[in-house]
Amino acid sequence: MNKPLALLFGLTLLLSSAHAQITSESFLFEVFDGCIEEPMEDTALGAQLEYCACFTNLMSKEMTLEEATMLSLDIMAADDDEQGEKVLLANEKARKLIAQCMPRLYD
C-alpha cells in the first residue's frame, strides 16, 4: 500500500465520528487516491477511475468508519502487497464492494 501513514493519520482523526455511513470527504478521498495509485495492468485509466469511484462510493454507504479503519489497519499490518490483498479479500464487505464494482473494469 502506498500511503499507509497518511491514511492512518486520517483515520485516527476521524475515529471519533463513526456512523452508519462514512461522510468524511478527506477519508473518502484517501481511499479513492489509494485505489487510483494501485497499478491495474491492462486496464484503461477511465475504467480504473470508474472502478475506484464505485468502490469509494459503495464503501461510504455500506461500511462504518470503524469497519473501514480496522480493514485499513489489517492491510497495513500485512507483510507485503500480496498478503494485503488477501486481507482485503478475506473481508466479506470489501469482497461484496469489489464484486459490485468489478464489471466497470470490463465495460
> What pLDDT does residue 40 have?
87
Model-level pTM?
0.77
Residue 84 located in a structural domain: yes
Total tally of structural domains belonging to the chain: 1
* Range of the structural domain that residue 67 is part of: 4-15+25-105
What's the average model confidence in pLDDT over 45-72? 94
Residue 43 located in a structural domain: yes
Average pLDDT for the chain: 85
What cell does 66 get? 470503524
Amino acid present at 82 = E
| Residues in CB range of 26: below 8 A, 6 or more apart | 10, 14
Residue 44 located in a structural domain: yes
What cell does 93 get? 464487505
Flag whether pLDDT at 89 surpasses 90.
yes
Residue 20 located in a structural domain: no
> What pLDDT does residue 38 have?
87
